[in-house]
Amino acid sequence: MSQSVQVSPNNSTPPTEKPQSRLFSLAQIALGIAGVVVLALRFPDLARTIVVFAIILGVLIFVHEWGHFQFARWAGMKVNRFAIGFPPFIFNREKNGITYSIGALPIGGMVDIAGLGSEEEMVNTAKGEVAEPKRDISRPFGQRQFQDASLFGRFMTLFAGPLMNFLFAIILAIGLFSFVGRADYEKAQDNKVGLLMGESPAAKAGVEEGDLLIGINGKAANNSEALRKLIHENGKKNLKLEVLRDGKKLEKTMIPEFKEQPTADGKGSEMVPTIGVVFTYNPTTLVYEKVGIGEAVKLSFTAAYRMSAQILETVKRAFTFKLTEVERNGIGGPVKIAQTVGQVAKDGQILPLLELTAALSINLGLMNLLPLPALDGGRILFLGFEFITRRPFNPKWEGLVHAAGMVMLLVFMLLITGRDLMPFLKTIRF
């Protein structure tokens, strides 16, 4: 999750920072590289996942923060620091009064804008320990603080991060559709069991992860779409599932259970028969259909719209406690996202990885626009209050709200990361 916009206390100079020697920075980099090498030797799949995930996340965070950075400068705000990753910083370079940094923890980023205070400083402001930022439109262009800019300038600075994520995803999709073509995913769906839902009909019948499902009730099926169609046709009838395991044919009997699942358009739900199996995806069998640039643009915007609608529908279901089991199992934090990236990277196919990158960029943009404290959407919400009332919200209370929101987000991330890590930790053997 990107840290969006970070802003500094009420001064026009970069915050002082304890000098960090080049030798110490090089030592940190060397230790990091050594750690990756050791990890690669012991757990090559895990090392590949971490490296690819860090690269993708770094690119998406750079795009997001670059949006904040550029619009802040266009609005005449003073930017103290542009950073990818969180401290400790292993690289710092100052140019034109701006410190460009790379953090040791590649899980976020920030654009430090003079004006309102970081989350920690927001708490201090709420306690009355620091002076509230005062608007002063007489400050020269390039030296203005966040609150000095117009309401539109502040809005665009906050909105620019998610906006850049959307544009990046659409441009990437246009490039893929134009130069590679439109993928026919139905023909690439596999019949291999990748995941079993707990206490599902398939799990109770003895189906195992890695099994190949080759038929139902005497009818052959060589892909997941055909299998789903047969399951749907049989409804509540007994299913005789033909399974291929280690070259041996087995037969498993079960009765499907009906589960609520979102509809294809993401606007509702329906009850469908399911056996509790998630199939693997085989990118090597993807077939691409060439399209023109006009069609590529149309497909890109359509795909972005549909994905956004599905994500927002899932968020709505989460807040109204209406998530299905499939949706709950699909929600995860950085660990689950990294796991998905690792699975795609393991196949060695660059195109599905680029498609996943575009999807993650849209996800990052939308999540940051949620009207929650400490996120871009939460800050925009306070600007909306100012627009309606014609006066800014009390900075002390706003600072406290954002600080509390940041704590809640961190706790939530720790909880969901712990949940995602448990299955992995159980499989490690040293």
DSSP string of 246-273? TTEEEEEEE--EEEEEE-TTSS-EEEEE
β-pairing verdict for 257-262 and 248-254 = unpaired
Residue 157 φ/ψ, nearest 5 degrees? -65, -40
| Mean pLDDT of the region 407-412 | 86
Smallest CA-to-CA distance from 55 within 75, 84, 29 is with: 84
For the beta carbon of residue 302, count every other beta carbon within 10 angstroms: 11
Name the nearest CA neighbour of 208 among 236, 250, 240, 237. 250
Distance in angstroms (rounded) separating the CA atoms of residues 192 and 174? 31
**184-285 CATH choice from 3.40.50.720, 3.40.50.300, 3.30.410.40, 2.30.42.10:** 2.30.42.10
- CA-to-CA separations, 54 to 93, 283, 330, in angstroms, rounded: 22, 22, 21
Coil/strand/helix, residue 108? strand
Q: Strand pairing of 5-8 and 98-114?
A: parallel
What's phi and psi for 253, nearest 5 deg? -105, 135
Q: Are 195 and 340 in contact (CB under 8 A)?
A: no
pLDDT tens for residues 247-286? 889 898 888 888 776 666 556 677 888 888 877 766 666 6
Rounded to an integer, what distance in angstroms lies between the CA atom of residue 79 and that of residue 143? 8
The residue with greater pLDDT, 238 or 137, is 238
Residue 198 has pLDDT above 70, yes or no: no
Give residues with Cβ within 8 angstroms of 260, minimum separation 6: 269, 270, 271, 324
Q: Phi/psi of residue 267, each to 5°?
A: -100, -5
Count of CB atoms within 10 A of residue 397's CB? 13
Q: Is the pLDDT at 92 greater than 80, yes or no?
A: yes
- Average pLDDT (313-317) is 83
Burial 308-335 (b: 16+ CB within 10 A, else e): bebbebbeebeeeeebbbebeeeebbeb
User: What is the residue whose two structure tokens read 């000095």?
Assistant: 148
Sign of CA dihedral 416, 419, 421, 424: negative
Residue 128, pLDDT score: 47
Nearest Cα to Cα of residue 112 among 225, 15, 37:
15
User: SS3 for 185?
Assistant: helix
φ, ψ (nearest 5 deg) of residue 361: -65, -40
Considering the chain, what percentage of its residues have pLDDT values greater than 90? 22
Determine which of 45-49, 175-179, 355-359 has the lowest per-residue pLDDT on average.
45-49
Q: What is the pLDDT of residues 144-188, one digit of tens each?
A: 888 889 999 999 999 999 999 999 999 999 999 998 888 776 566
For 2-16, 58-72, 310-324, 380-394, which range has the lowest pLDDT when averaged over its residues? 2-16
Encode burial over 119-147: b for 16+ CB neighbours within 10 A, e otherwise: bebbbbbbeeebeebeeeeebeeeebbbb
Q: Tokens 């809005």 identify what position?
A: 155
Contact between 119 and 406 (Cβ < 8 Å)? yes
Which residue reads 């404290």 in tokens? Answer: 373
Query: Residue written as tokens 């299998």?
Result: 227
- Closest listed residue to residue 400, CA positions, set 16, 129, 17: 129
Q: Which residues pair with 193 in a beta bridge?
A: 279
Assigned token pair, 118: 């970081």
What is this structure's pTM? 0.73
Question: How do the domains of the chain map onto residue ranges?
Answer: 5-180+337-427, 184-285
pLDDT score of 330: 66
Structure tokens at 307: 């994905």
Q: How far apart, in whole angstroms, are the C-alpha atoms of residue 24 and residue 165?
A: 34
pLDDT at 10 over 60: no
Q: Is the peptide bond preceding residue 88 cis, with omega within 30 degrees of 0?
A: yes
**CB-count burial class (<10 Å; 0-12, 13-18, 19+) for 270:** exposed
Reported as a pLDDT band with limits 50, 70 and 90, residue 17 is very low
Q: Which residues lie below 8 Å from residue 9, measured CB to CB, with a gap of 6+?
A: 15, 114, 117, 121, 130, 133
Place of tokens 């690119």: 59
Choose among 305, 77, 73, 57: nearest CA to 170. Answer: 305
